A and B are shown apart, each in its own frame.
Chain A
Amino acid sequence: MKASLRQSMSWLHTWSGLLFGWLLFTMFVTGTAAYFNEEITRWMQPELKGRAAPEQAVEGALRYLERTAPDAKSWFISPPGRRTQTTNVFWQPADDGGEKRRRRRDTSAQLDSEGSKVEARDTRGGFFLYRFHFDLHYMPVIWARYLVGLAAMFMLVAIVSGVITHKKIFADFFMLRFGKGQRSWLDAHNVTAVLALPFHLMITYTGLVTLATLYMPWGIAATYQSSDSFFEARFPSREEVERLDRPAPLAPIAPMMAAARTAWNGAPVGSIRIANPGDASARISLTRASEASIASRGETLEFNGVTGAPITPVSAGLGGAALTESTMIGLHAGRYAHIGLRWLYFLSGLGGIAMVGTGLVLWTVKRRQKLPDPMRPHLGFRIVEKLNVATVAGFPASLAGYFLANRLLPLRMEGRADWEVHAMFMLWAAFAAWAVLRTARRGWIEILGAGALLFAAVPIVNLMTTERGIVHSLIHGDLLFIGFDAAMLICAALFALAARKAARKRAEPKQRARPAPAAKREAVA
């Protein structure tokens, strides 16, 4: 190839971006939404109100576990944190061995501050969006993770080649020409990409790092005999404590939590593990909340479960590389981020959605004018066009269906949580079918319009089906519900705006008789 660096990179950027663009788009949408996963979960369980001090909640959880699983191998407790209001517990039953695999819900529970099971609708909440972001759905998790990793690698290549292609990166940043067809799409793609470029690069690279040992296990293979020995070196675990079969009550937990807080400069406890509860050999380990620092792997303190005496730690902190890895993962997940920074993450994610979306549309806009007959495009062009409509318009619109299903499905329905998710995918499938049946232009207008209506319906349905409608939340200053309703209305407005834009421009290709130099410049981009 005698082409210049920019030309070769332009080719690489176009095709690496297109091939995984649709998957990346869904990953950006769910990942961006997942920055508010806890808040979404709270909105999706409107029955739950109020919150408790962590100590009180943990004591309640201990009472629940003593009643429910007194002879378990171990108990795990996640107390309510800054953004959650319930306590989640799960336990490892003693007879784990040959028995058939239990369902997770038989060994876990969501508790209120008194340690009683909460009475709230069954939902996967924001957690589903978080998991879809890297596990997808309706397919084995391991395939999904390889697929997602491949997409992220293409994204990294698309970013690097895109930066090289885009020579006048800062000059063009100030150019956003509206209503100029292809030029506007290119400008929009450039602005959304450049504005949040550090974010895109960071989020893509750190995303790969979150599953690095899955994607690139060869460094481990060269140094360690098995990945187990690597993980043992990386996360040293204490040897399992032998059960003494001598009953002994647990020491009070509140002083341990207070000691941990002091040791971590006031950072709260994120999770608690109790090994051999009720036995003389009991051990309690407290792990620092991930919201307390960027590095994602929190420190752990261990205590004797019966005497409450601290046990000296096994490892002496992390090395530079391990700390870097931990920080990269923490940067990706953003669990440390307070509300202001969390919104910045969210907005940057929206920038990513817009970047991928405009990039996908740009592919068709650029090629439409060069088609031999723009009215009868070839099959490849039509496939890209339909997939664009189905994904860029249809996927985010189907998220509204997820929220609506949460409010509209019968509360006591069997498999309710799963059906919320099915409802979302059924809606997406319907949009996809619609996109196939209609012309691209009609498809854009109609699906974007439907998305606007669906998002606008969410606050209304919430008002009609719960006691926490917009009037109630405004009177009581329920910021979470006000924020969620407002976000839905903003989504609806954006969809309506996009639908109107799609309806406005007509017979675009015929009017474009552009001067030759401009056309040449765009061939590069």
Chain B
Amino acid sequence: MQTHAPRKAAPAARSAEPPRWHVALRLLLAIPLGYGWTALATASLARFLPLPALEATIAATLASFGIYAALIVWIFHAQHPGRAALLMALSAAAMAGPLWISILLEGRL
């Protein structure tokens, strides 16, 4: 937390409030979409962690709340919510593809 020194420009920037829909988009990204993204990340970890299936599933589930919290913090700090949305969409696609193929090919226990 100490690595981010407060930017010098901050007080000036405060007067120019970002548009209202930025907050709305951040909330949308953080709460429902962020949960979906976390679910996808948890599912991927459960499948791809190099551990026995049961262990990988539990480890992924234990980590999921930390992932979700970090994601929310990142969404609210991102420069522009549109950028956060784009990065989330791209990474979600990158996770969903292999996950889908893996379940299709190897099935579930």
The CA-CA distance from A224 to B103 in the complex, in Å, is: 10
Does A216 lie within 8 Å of B38, measured CB to CB? yes
* Residue in B6, B38, B54 with the greatest tally of chain A CB atoms within 10 Å: B54
Q: Is the CB of A321 within 8 A of B55?
A: yes
**Residue of B at shortest CB range from A7?**
B10
Distance, CA A213 to CA B68, complexed state (A): 15
Chain A nearest CB, measured from B61 CB (Å): 5
* Cβ A229 vs Cβ B109 within 8 A: yes
- Write the nearest CB–CB distance from A224 to chain B, whole angstroms: 5
Distance (whole angstroms) from the CB of A474 to the closest CB of chain B: 47
Most B CB within 10 A of own CB, among A4, A153, A219:
A219
Contact assessment for A153 and B55 in the assembled complex, using a CB-CB cutoff below 8 Å: no
Residue pairs across A and B with Cβ atoms less than 8 A apart, 5 shown, are A5-B1, A7-B6, A222-B44, A222-B57, A320-B55
Q: Which of A2, A209, A218, A233 contacts B42 (CB 8 A)?
A: A218
Q: Are B57 and A223 in contact (CB under 8 A)?
A: yes
Within 8 A of B (CB), among A215-253: 215-216, 218-225, 229-230, 233-234
Cβ contact of A325, chosen from B56, B62, B65, cutoff 8 A: B62
Shortest CB distance B8–A (Å): 9
Whether B2 contacts A219 by the Cβ 8 Å rule is: no
> Across the interface, which residues of A come within 8 angstroms of B9, CB to CB?
2
Contacts A3-B14, A164-B1, A212-B61 given; indicate if A222 touches B69 (C-beta within 8 A). no
> Which residues of A have CB within 8 Å of B73?
9, 12, 157, 160-161, 164
Q: Which of B13, B57, B66 has the most A CB atoms < 10 Å from its CB?
A: B57
B53 beta carbon closer than 8 Å to chain A? yes
Shortest C-beta distance, B93 to chain A (Å), equals 16
| Contact call B53/A223, Cβ cutoff below 8 A | yes
* Contact between chains at B58 and A234 (CB < 8 Å): yes
Do residues A220 and B76 form an inter-chain contact, with CB atoms below 8 A? Answer: no
| Given A219-B61, A220-B61, A320-B55; A5-B42 close (CB under 8 Å) | no
Q: How large is the interface on A (under 10, 10 to 19, 20 to 34, 35 or more residues)?
A: 35 or more
A317-337 vs B, Cβ < 8 Å mask (1 yes, 0 no): 001111011001000000000
Complex contact A223–B46 (CB within 8 A): yes
With contacts A1-B79, A219-B46 known, is A167 near B64, CB below 8 A?
no
**Cα A216 to Cα B40 with chains together (Å):** 10
With A157-B69, A205-B65, A225-B109 as known contacts, state yes or no: A3 contacts B13, CB within 8 Å: yes
User: What mask results when residues 128 to 165 of chain A are scored 1 for a CB within 8 Å of chain B, else 0?
Assistant: 00000000000000000000000001001100110110
Q: Are B10 and A163 in contact (CB under 8 A)?
A: no
Rounded to whole Å, the gap between the CB of B92 and the closest CB of chain A is: 13
Chain A residues with CB under 8 Å of B77's CB are 1, 5, 8-9
The interface residues of chain A, by DSSP majority, are classed as helix
CA distance A153 to B40 in the complex (A): 18
Known: A157-B69, A216-B42, A229-B109. 16 other contacts (CB 8 A): A2-B10, A4-B6, A5-B6, A7-B14, A161-B73, A167-B6, A212-B64, A215-B65, A216-B39, A216-B64, A218-B40, A219-B61, A222-B108, A225-B109, A234-B54, A321-B56
Does A153 lie within 8 Å of B69, measured CB to CB? yes
Give A1-33 as 1s and 0s: 1 = Cβ < 8 Å from B's Cβ atoms.
111111111011000000000000000000000
Which parts of A351-386 form the interface with B (CB within 8 Å)? none
Task: Let me know if A208 is at the binding interface, CB within 8 A.
Answer: yes
Q: A5-B4, A164-B1, A319-B54 are in contact. Are A219 and B64 (CB under 8 A)?
A: yes
Residues of A within 8 A of B56 (CB): 219, 223, 321
Proximity bits, B1-36, A CB within 8 Å = 1, else 0 = 110101101110110101000100000000000000
Alpha-carbon separation in the docked complex, A205 to B70 (Å) = 13
Complex: how many Å from CA A3 to CA B69?
20
* Range, interface on chain B: 35 or more
Chain A contacts with B in 293-320, Cβ cutoff 8 A: 319-320
What are the residues of chain A within 8 A of B45 when measuring CB–CB? 219
The reply to whether B54 and A322 contact each other, CB–CB distance below 8 Å, is yes
Whether B62 lies near A209 (C-beta < 8 A) is yes
Q: How far is the CA of A322 from the CA of B65 in the complex (A)?
A: 16
Contact with A along B87-109 (1 / 0, CB 8 A): 00000000000010001000011
Tell me if B109 and A222 are in contact (CB < 8 A): no
Q: How far is A347 from B49 in the complex, measured between Cα atoms in Å?
A: 39
Q: Is the CB of B61 within 8 A of A225?
A: no
Shortest Cβ gap from B86 to chain A (Å):
16
Compute how far the CA of A322 lies from the CA of B51 in the bound complex, rounded to whole angstroms. 12
Q: Please pick, from A2, A212, A224, A325, the residue contacting B18 in the complex, using a CB distance under 8 A.
A: A2
Q: How far is the CB of B47 from chain A (nearest CB, A)?
A: 5
With a CB–CB cut-off of 8 A, which chain A residues contact B42? 216, 218-219, 222
Q: Is B60 an interface residue (CB 8 A)?
A: yes
Query: CB-CB < 8 A to B103: which residues of A?
Result: 222
B50 interface residue, CB < 8 Å from A?
no
CB atoms of A1 and B22 under 8 A apart: yes
Q: A328–B62 Cα gap in the complex (Å)?
A: 9
Does the CB pair B66–A213 fall under 8 Å? no
Chain B residues whose CB sits within 8 angstroms of the CB of A216 once the complex forms: 38-39, 42, 61, 64-65
A219-B65 in contact (CB<8A): no
Q: In the bound complex, do residue B61 and residue A1 qualify as a contact, i.e. CB atoms below 8 Å apart?
A: no
Q: Please name all residues of chain B whose beta carbon is closer than 8 Å to the beta carbon of A229 when the two chains form the complex.
A: 109
> Nearest-CB distance from B109 to chain A (Å)?
5
CA distance A6 to B70 in the complex (A): 15
Contacts of A325 in B (CB 8 A): 58, 61-62
Bound: A156/B67 CA distance, A: 11
- Minimal beta-carbon separation of B78 from chain A (angstroms): 8
Separation of A126 and B6 alpha carbons in the complex (Å): 48
Cα(A8)–Cα(B1), bound, Å: 13
